[in-house]
Each structure stands twice: as structure tokens, then as C-alpha cells.
Chains A and B, each alone.
Chain A
Amino acid sequence: ETGVTQSPTHLIKTRGQQVTLRCSSQSGHNTVSWYQQALGQGPQFIFQYYREEENGRGNFPPRFSGLQFPNYSSELNVNALELDDSALYLCASSPWGKTQYFGPGTRLLVL
């Protein structure tokens, strides 16, 4: 059974650019959640996708958006990147209503 995978592993962007991060959920999991983890902090909930729709959102601006595809994989898009967007972005998948399992993350550096 394949766990949660994310791509790319690392990414460097400049301020104002746009970025897309990708996540493949674990087999049998139909729900995907995205988190931002700044250095030295715990992960912060960005949003969750279920049945290809945003199902809940944390305290993040609209320039953070996402998609979920019929195979339950997901994308996180961030527009107009700011320096403070530099962080580890984590994807977690779960069956609906069950415990979340995390991928290895994508480390984004904004210069």
C-alpha cells in the first residue's frame, strides 16, 4: 500500500510568483488536507478537500487555493508569493471522518 506522496520535495521561488504543489493520497483515502508548517512551529491548517470540493478552511487568504481530482489527488496553489510563505507544506489524507496521515512535505523557499 502506497502512502501519501508529495511533489516536488523542494522548490525555490521569488516574491510575486505563483506555485503549485501536488499530493497523491493514500490508497482508499478520499479526503485531503493541506497544512503550512513554518520553521519551529506546528503545522497550521490551510484547507480540506472532499469529493472535489473545498470542505473547510483555516485562516489563510484567498491567494491560497486548491483542487482535488477524481482520483482524490490534490493540488495547492499559492499566488503572489510573499517571503512569509516560505515553509514546509504538508498534505494529509484520510478516509472521510477518519484519522489523517501525512506525506513528507514540500519545502518552499521564497526569495
Chain B
Amino acid sequence: GQQLNQSPQSMFIQEGEDVSMNCTSSSIFNTWLWYKQDPGEGPVLLIALYKAGELTSNGRLTAQFGITRKDSFLNISASIPSDVGIYFCAGQEDSGGGADGLTFGKGTHLIIQP
């Protein structure tokens, strides 16, 4: 099945550093979502983006919906140990929860060294 191009695949950073990851697609999406998944659990929604060019923050997290509608990025500022996990981008072609389902990237594995 189709997957988005998400990079980097993994990141090893020091506590307190800022993190940046991005996602690109050959298809246009009307919704971009960022999820975090901890071991043995389901993905948890972090940020949802519904409009091209939109920049949205959730605490230390900031995400943007690319103007071409084919890309998105997620930044985490001042990382802390609980930020460890796998981050997934997901795109949806419909404007809402339509019948196409979500298309996911392969994930960015974030590892924080104290």
C-alpha cells in the first residue's frame, strides 16, 4: 500500500534540543495529521491541520501544512524524556473523515539521551 515519505527515520538527540521531522507525498492531501505511538499502544493524535499553509501549535509542538498540500513538518522544541516514541505523519485526501482512510508515513523514531 501507499505510504508517505517521512524523514528522518530515526533521531538521536540530547534532552533540551529542538527536533524537526517532515513528510512528503506525491499526492495532494486535504488534511495532515501528526500522531505519536508508544510501544504496545495505539497512535495518539498530536496535531491536526486542515488548510494549506496552516501553522498550528500544541504546547512545545508546532506543525505546518505545506502550501502545495503535498508536505508537512513537525517541530518539537526543548525535548524532554517523555517525547521518546515513534512519530507518524498521516494524510487524508478527503476534507474530513471520508472513505479513503488515512495514509501514513513509516514513522520517525525519536530517542533522547539524557
Contacts and interface: CB of A to CB of B under 8 A. Distances in A.
A101 B6 CA distance: 21
B5 to A, nearest CB: 11
B89 to A, nearest CB: 9
Interface in B77-114: 88, 90, 94-107
Interface in A28-65: 31, 33, 35, 40-48, 50, 55-56, 58-59
Given A45-B1, A59-B1, A99 B104 contact: no
Interface of B: 1, 3-4, 6, 31, 33, 35, 40-45, 48, 88, 90, 94-107
B101 A33 contact: yes
Given A58-B1, A101-B45, A104-B41, A45 B103 contact: yes
B99 A48 contact: yes
A95 B97 contact: yes
A56 B99 contact: yes
Contacts of B90: 42
Nearest to B3: A42
Top 4 closest pairs, chain A to chain B, by CB: A56-B99, A45-B101, A97-B96, A42-B104
